[in-house]
Amino acid sequence: MKAVILAGGYGKRLRPLTESIPKSLIQIAGKAIIEWQISWLSRHGIKEFVVLIGYLGEKVKERLGDGSKLGVKVEYSVEVVPLGTGGALMNAYEYLKDEDEFMMINGDIITNLDVTKMFDVPREFVGAIALVPLPSPYGIVIFDETNKIKGFIEKPTIKDYWINAGIYLLRKEVFDYLPSKGDIERTAFPKLAEEGKLKAIRYFDVLWKSIDSHKDLEEADALLREMKQL
């Protein structure tokens, strides 16, 4: 099975870091985000990758090469102009046309969830989306019926609500739903959901971190150094 990594964005919220390197090459705990991702997926048996590059994409090519130094095979699909996540995937059709199914990963997440849990999705579904509990950005206060404060919980997960983890299993039929330009989250996914062709795969108690800000970088760096590896 191949995995597609979306690595073509500008990473505007991480400037000035992303003025000279693409977001996927930002270092966390001594390794680029995309290298963490490839190592994680490789441990789950995925050895072939299609990296969707755009902004400063040549630097990704220089860093990863053909993937051999990481023990995998890497190919590249290039966006000449920004196409959105759906358009970028459609642009990579030539690399995926012979695949019955493949993984797609947002290029700004760090996680240790077990992607093999997504491999057994019934054929009636065109895709599956990994979900994780909503992480609160704030600590919460615990109090009793008399309003006496009993304690504090630092940034809990809110287990009644689930968010898109940015990890997908997609089947070749998804290309019938993709735009030439636009985001898959706003085009193909709503249509597939309306037709009942998207499966939710829920993950409990996993490491998952989206790298959207400098604070996220600091927190992810501390987490990975503490864990030593994903």
Would you please indicate which residues are annotated as catalytic (active-site) residues? Answer: 155
Could you tell me where the DSSP H helices lie in 76-147?
84-91, 93-96
β-strands 31-32, 27-28: how paired? antiparallel
Please give the structure tokens belonging to residue 67: 């993937």
Beta strands per DSSP E along 112-156? 127-135, 140-143, 149-153
Give the integer Cα–Cα distance in Å for 60 and 63: 5
Share of the chain residues as helix, strand and coil, in percent rounded to the nearest 5: 30, 30, 35
Burial 93-119 (b: 16+ CB within 10 A, else e): eebbeeeebbbbbbbbbbbebebeebe
* Number of neighbours of residue 124 by Cβ within 10 angstroms: 8
Q: Do residues 166 and 174 lie in contact, with contact meaning Cβ atoms separated by under 8 Å? A: no
